[in-house]
Amino acid sequence: MAVSGPHKEDVQAYRAENLPPPPPPAGQSQSQPEPKETFLLLLFASAQSYCDNKESLTFSAPMTLRQLFEELERRYSGIGEKVLKSSQFSVNLDYVHCTWKGTMQGDDEELVLKARDEVGIIPPVSSG
């Protein structure tokens, strides 16, 4: 359906943002961009609050656990001392052994995070 008039640009912008691209003409192949290899970082409690109330963040894989937390410190200055220092960490639902001491240290600091891994920051919580 062709659209004309004063709202043509609005309709075109809506289509570009919300609809899949049209199929290529017969006989031509449509090249799909390679999906970016990523892993998911789940944020809980104070970690979520410190990261602009986001429930999760996505990062490019591969990356070591140490590199991940250095990147978090770069993006959210002070998160190491305020959140990571007292938190536990998990990778694919298994706890990993590392602590924040100005940088990530511990048995699992060089653990390589791969595409589709799920990492969790689990700060202490209190109940009353």
For 27-48, what is the mean pLDDT? 78
Q: How far is CA 116 from CA 23, 26, 27, 111, 119, in A?
A: 29, 35, 34, 15, 10
Give the Cα separation of 61 and 39 in Å (integer): 6
Name the token pair of 47: 């970690």
CB atoms near residue 104 (< 10 Å): 25
pLDDT of residue 105: 74
Q: Give the chain's mean pLDDT.
A: 82
Q: Greater confidence, 46 or 11?
A: 46
* pLDDT surpasses 90 at 108: no
* pLDDT surpasses 90 at 45: yes
Domains of the chain: 58-122 (3.10.20.30)
Name the token pair of 110: 């060089």
pTM, 2 dp? 0.68
